[in-house]
Structure 1
Amino acid sequence: MSYNYLPLDRKTLHFQQIKNLLDFDQHVSITFDAHERILQCREYLDNKMASGNELLYGINTGFGYLQSVQINDDQVEQLQYNLLVSHACGLGEEVPLDIVKLMLMLKIKSLSYGHSGVHIETVKRLMEMYNNGVFPVIYTQGSLGASGDLAPLSHLSLPLIGLGEVWFNGQKRKSAEVLSELGWEPIKLHSKEGLALINGTQFMSAYGMYCLKKSEQLINMANLIAAMSIDAFDCSPEPFNHHIHAVRSHKGQVETAATIRSFLLGSSISSQAKKQVQDPYSFRCIPQVHGATIDTFDHVLNVFLKEINSVTDNPNIFPEDDLVLSGGNFHGQPLALALDFLSIAMSELANISERRTYQLISGQRNLPLFLVKNPGLHSGFMIPQYTSAGIVSENKQLCTPSSVDSISSSNNQEDHVSMGANGATKCLRVVNNVEKVLAIELLSAAQALDFRRPMQSSPVVEQLYQQLRAVVDFNEEDRVLHDDMIKAIDVVSNYSFVSR
């Protein structure tokens, strides 16, 4: 059996599978069970439409405020076509390719349950697009996060009908050209298919899963870099003693303290006698602050795992119960709240990281001012802290919740929206900013650690130090630090160790 593909059906999709899909460039495929459920649902819907004149939302009616306008049988195909082209109103930057991949996979996953009424050929084409590297050009702006991610998912679906643009073999091209090159005919959408494609939360969900994947790496790196800073600032190990955390037993706090203890095991710096009684909060309270972020991460992950294993289009079809039900599973409120929460929690990792950087350059604990041998002639690490502070301030502004806002749309038919899509895009901005701030702390901590020589930190910390020093030398005198910062960001992003 080959493991180079991700099977999609009604079975639970796990976080590790999401990570593997991106890390190992896997293909996707629906299972036999999903194939049969899709066929049965479509057959039921066709029979339902042939048997009477019942109004079924989005199947033989208009959309949104036009829900009561009946569409003739001979116009049903045109209705679905019109839905895609009229709703493809995205603007802004292009969605990153990895997130487009997740959107496409998650749309297939949602359709695989057999509650959406699509033709199997439509699902097969979505799989062919994914597996042949035909990835739609999608834009970050346009979704209110409540009627489903209408505009982004419309752009996702345009290539099915030969419209829009795609990335293919590293080039952005017209979909029609790529379809012709691959010998694919545009899909003719049938009743309900357009609505099934563009109703759903796959834009928010894909952003959320991508942010969670990146956040997991940054949480691990925040702990490891903090351990380096602890030794670089010659801090006491006492605040990480397990007795302290046993009497305030928040899971993330206990876990973080244990992680820091393990990271500092074998450090000669950590084990030497300390002159100070207590260290600043940014060092002493690492378990409490980082731990709270971990607890938030776990909560948000649970919300998103529930979401990606759900059916989120409308209406939902239940062949076994002879029901076609209109509801609101496309409303992104659970995701909107979770994305705002994740943004806030991750921003705090950067907030406390910048404070450690500030302490390291302050000239205390037998470290030179700004971590340079001749301060005055050289500015040393003065300005990286400025950059870090500016980024931290930007994150504070970005962390104003999107989910507290709502703007009525569709002539007040859609009168409460989640704004989760805005929460999703700015969550990624926050997470990317955290990565930069941690990289600046890493540069500063490594520089400070050099002033502790010949004493050594722990083997775990020294391994990170060596990986950074393989690309960034000790700073003897002023140079363009932008280049060092970019290299440090790469180390933070790609450093490999056993996940927590």
Structure 2
Amino acid sequence: MEDVKAVLLDGEHVTVEDVATVAHENVAVAISDAAWQRVKDCRKMVEELVSTGKVVYGVTTGFGKFSDVHISPEDAAQLQVNLIRSHACAVGQPMSIPAVRALMMLRANALSKGYSGIRPETLQLLIDCLNHGVHPVVPEQGSLGASGDLAPLSHLALVLMGEGEAFYQGERLPGGEALKKAGLSPIQLQAKEGLALINGTQIMTSIGTLTYVKAKALAKAADMIAALTVECLRGIPEAFAEEVHRVRPYPEQLGVASNLRRLLTGSKLTTEQGEIRVQDAYSLRCLPQVHGASRQVLTYVEDKLSIEVNSATDNPLLFLEEGKVISGGNFHGQPMAFAMDFLKIGMSELANISERRTERLVNPALSELPAFLSHQPGVESGMMILQYVSASLVSENKVLAHPASVDSIPSSANQEDHVSMGTTAARHAAQVIDNVSKVLAIELICAAEAAEFVGAEGLAPATRKLYDLLRGVVPPVLTDRSTSADIEKVAAALLQGKWVQEVEKISGELM
């Protein structure tokens, strides 16, 4: 992109925002000079190990259960090639291009730490593929989330060898052909390199990072949409008073309450205690407590991602200063598995309470609005079935929110006898977020319809901006029509976060 510098990789300072930028905006990456020196020094150590024949897992031995099989120096290179070819058996739909870009960036960042022993030219080719838009076809399924994301990552490595498949300029091509069209040449893997390319948590972390960024945007959107619903249901904002939340001082709860106060400033539709009712239902009154708790989940997830994106997750690891090669377990995805499962739960709850607000908007027994927000109740169904769809999505999320991390299954003849299922957790988290965006879109569409009845002119300036943004893509439903496309368009807009930015120009930056 114009006027955007390359993101510098050094294995230490990548942020989740950097990952999203490279993934979605085609920003280039580069490796720092200091990182290049560490990579070169570490490679020398590998070459010395090979020449002396010292027993080192995956360098002079086989893999997994074959770790006791000695590999001669003349077979060291073929061992790596065989590793990639045999392990490239992932299945399912290809990962999205943004997710693959994030994956390539994170793998390069991990390798740039200088603990993996990869050759500089191999790492350079990985960087060149990313910067030239050669995106390997990486099937989503097949990782146990321990021993690294072996099967999917092997499809990335195949392309560097001139094999496999890659997307290039909108075409799905054989890997070698994609490299050639981009002006690049494949490499011949040498000792340790195959293992260095596939032994890591970058599949689950790339999916997880992009999912987290979307979740963060949806959390802000949820506050905005809920504020609009509060107005349309003539809610009581006194429940969001600073005094209430100061005596239960979770930072996230305080932040959501502050968001709601600012979003509702200037509203002519909200009411006071006793004016219509003494207190609101929980789905309105407990917004800071519930949305705030989901924000606590996001805080936890961001902390874990910030560590993981700058971690060495290879095995074995080479420590230059100590002169040691240590076989460990940094490839085990348990931290990411827990984080992604927690993310699923926290975001599912945002959808759960949103669906309950939608029900209040469309159910005449729970509001003073026309049944199902229909302009001709009975003759026309109005928003009736939108609530059905919302209910279906939140129910599906309950299944997806089942923790993948509590499962394990032994592999490699019981040598790898406990695994994380972190990649499954990340994939399911991505599905949950997609569902949450649609549940929130449905609430927003219904709240905008309710505003037609209570008077959009009475909305607060911030929520009126949200209403206007919605109306820019979804006209009022004055008579029954299909709203599937409307829901999809609004969900996409919420995930992009641009509407949040527009509303924040009025409300001030939201937490």
SS state at 2:398 partner: helix
| Distance (whole Å) between structure 2 residues aligned to residue 304 and residue 453 of structure 1 | 44
Counterpart amino acid of 2:60? Answer: N
CA–CA separation in structure 1 for the residues paired with 2:148 and 2:510: 33
Partner letter of residue 28 of structure 1?
Answer: V
Q: Is the 8 A contact 1:468 1:491 kept in 2?
A: no
How far residue 23 of structure 1 moved from its aligned partner, in angstroms, is 4.5
One-letter amino acid matched to 2:276 = K
Q: 2:141 is matched with which residue?
A: 141
- Specify which of 438, 444, 447 is matched with residue 445 of structure 1: 447
CA distance in 2, matches of 1:204, 1:241: 40
Name the structure 1 match of 2:421: 419
Give the drift of 1:365.
3.4
Where do 5+ consecutive residues of structure 2 fail to align? 502-508
Distance 1:238 1:299 in 2: 29
Question: Once the 2 structures are TM-superposed, how far is the Cα of residue 185 of structure 1 from its aligned partner?
Answer: 2.7
- How far residue 96 of structure 1 moved from its aligned partner, in angstroms, is 1.2
Measure, in 1, the Cα distance between the counterparts of 2:266 and 2:63. Answer: 65
Q: What are the equivalent positions in structure 2 for 1:113-192 lying under 5 Å apart?
A: 113-192=113-192
1:480 deviates by 1.1
Question: What's the counterpart of residue 258 of structure 2?
Answer: 258
Aligned residues: 499
Offset at residue 271 of structure 1 (A): 5.4
Is 1:402–1:420's contact at 8 Å kept on the other side of the alignment?
yes
| Distance in structure 1 (CA, Å) of the matches to 2:167 and 2:386 | 36
Residue in 1 that maps onto 2:466: 464
Q: Quickly say closer, same or farther: Cα 1:180–1:21, change in 2 above 3 A.
A: closer
Separation (CA, whole Å) in 2 of partners of 1:153 and 1:299 = 26
> Matches of 1:183 and 1:449 in 2, distance apart?
56
Name the counterpart of 2:277: 276
Per-residue deviation, residues 173-222 of structure 1 (Å, max 9, x unmatched): 11111222334332011110000000000001101101111001100100
Could you tell me how far 1:385 is from its partner in structure 2?
0.3
Picking from 359, 378, 381, the partner of 2:380 is 378
Contact in 1 for aligned 2:8/2:31 (Cα 8 Å): yes
- 1:369 match: 371
Aligned counterpart, 1:324: 325
Corresponding residue number in structure 2 for 1:15? 16
Taking the aligned partners of 1:54 and 1:73, their CA distance within structure 2 comes to 10
- The one-character-per-residue Cα deviations of 1:390-410 (angstroms, maximum 9, x if unpaired) are 000000011110000000000
User: Distance in 1 between the 2:25 and 2:105 partners?
Assistant: 15
**For 2:288 and 2:500, how far apart are their aligned partners in 1?**
22
Distance 2:37 2:412 in 1: 36
Which one of 475, 481, 484 corresponds to residue 482 of structure 1? 484
The offset of 1:249, in angstroms, is 1.1
State how far apart, in whole Å, the 2-side matches of 1:233 and 1:195 are. 58
Query: For residue 345 of structure 1, what is the aligned residue in structure 2?
Result: 346
Deviation at 1:270, TM superposition (A): 2.1
Label 1:70 to 1:129 Cα distance change in 2 as closer, same or farther (>3 A): same
CA deviation map 1:327-386 (0-9, x unaligned):
000000111011100000000000000000000001143210100121100000000000
What is the correspondence of 1:209-224 to structure 2 with a 5 Å cutoff?
A: 209-224=209-224
Bigger mean CA offset, 454-463 vs 16-25: 16-25
Q: In 1, Cα distance between the equivalents of 2:12 and 2:327?
A: 24
Which secondary structure state, in structure 1, belongs to the residue aligned with residue 93 of structure 2? strand
Deviation at 1:74, TM superposition (A): 1.0
1:5 corresponds to 2:6: yes
Which AA in structure 2 matches 1:368? P
How far apart, in 2, do the equivalents of 1:183 and 1:489 lie? 39
Is contact 2:22-2:101 (8 Å) kept?
no
CA contact (8 A) 1:41 1:115 kept: yes
Find out whether 1:39 has 2:1 as its counterpart: no
Q: Distance in 1 between matches of 2:90 and 2:49?
A: 34
- Identify the residue that residue 301 of structure 1 maps to in structure 2: 302
> Could you say which residue in structure 1 is the equivalent of 2:391?
389
State the TM-score, normalizing by the size of structure 2: 0.95
Partners of 1:99 and 1:24 in 2: how far apart?
Answer: 12
Aligned amino acid, residue 369 of structure 1:
A
- Partner SS state of residue 172, structure 1: strand
- 1:148 and 1:184 map into 2 onto residues whose CA distance is 27
C-alpha change, 1:312 and 1:400, in structure 2 (3 Å) is same
User: Quick check: 1:400 aligned with 2:402?
Assistant: yes
Tell me the secondary structure at the aligned position of residue 16 of structure 1. Answer: helix
The amino acid across from 2:463 in the alignment is V
Moved more, 471-480 or 83-92: 471-480
CA deviation after TM superposition for structure 1 residue 172, in Å = 0.8
1:256 and 1:435 map into 2 onto residues whose CA distance is 19
Once structures 1 and 2 are overlaid, which stretch shifts more, 470-479 or 215-224? 470-479
Q: Percent identity between the aligned chains?
A: 43
Q: Tell me the secondary structure at the aligned position of residue 7 of structure 1.
A: strand
Q: How far does residue 3 in structure 1 lie from its aligned partner after superposition?
A: 4.2
Within a 5 Å distance, the mapping from 1:42-57 to structure 2 comes to 42-50=43-51, 52-57=52-57
Distance 1:10 1:4 in 2: 18
> How far did residue 252 of structure 1 move?
1.2
CA shift at 1:114, angstroms?
0.7
Give the RMSD, CA atoms, in angstroms: 1.4
Q: Is the 8 A contact 1:269 1:455 kept in 2?
A: no
1:22 and 1:265 mapped to 2: Cα distance?
A: 37
Which residue identity does 1:194 align to in structure 2? G
SS at match of 1:92: strand
Q: Which one is further off, 479-488 or 116-125?
A: 479-488
* Structure 1 residue 37, shift from structure 2 partner: 0.6
Cα 1:16–1:179 shift into 2, 3 Å: closer
**Is the deviation greater in 77-86 or in 245-254?**
245-254
2:436 corresponds to? 434
SS for the counterpart of 1:269 is coil
> C-alpha separation between the residues in 2 aligned to 1:183 and 1:139?
25
Residue 55 (structure 1) shift: 0.9
- Secondary structure of 2:208's counterpart equals helix
Q: What does residue 78 of structure 1 align with?
A: 78
Secondary structure, in 3 states, of the residue corresponding to 1:29?
strand
Structure-2 change in CA distance of 1:128 and 1:374 (3 Å): same
Per mean C-alpha deviation after superposition, the further-off stretch among 91-100 and 432-441 is 91-100
2:504 match: none
- Give the Cα–Cα distance (whole angstroms) in 2 for the partners of residues 356 and 5 of structure 1: 44
User: Equivalent residue of 2:8, what SS?
Assistant: strand
Structure 2 CA distance for aligned equivalents of residues 105 and 484 of structure 1? 34
TM-score (norm 1): 0.97
Q: Do the aligned partners of residues 26 and 499 (structure 1) sit closer, same or farther apart at CA in structure 2, a change above 3 Å counting? A: farther
Match of 2:505 in 1: none
SS in 2 for 1:403: helix
Unaligned ranges ≥5, structure 1: none
Note the C-alpha offset of 1:46. Answer: 1.1
The 1-side partners of 2:338 and 2:25 are apart by 31
User: What SS does the corresponding residue of 2:404 show, helix, strand or coil?
Assistant: coil
Please tell me whether the aligned partners of residues 256 and 291 of structure 2 are also in contact (alpha carbons under 8 angstroms): yes
Match of 1:239 in 2: 239
Answer yes or no: is the 8 Å Cα contact 1:467–1:491 preserved in 2: no
Q: State whether residues 42 and 119 of structure 1, in contact with CA within 8 Å, keep that contact through their aligned partners in structure 2.
A: yes
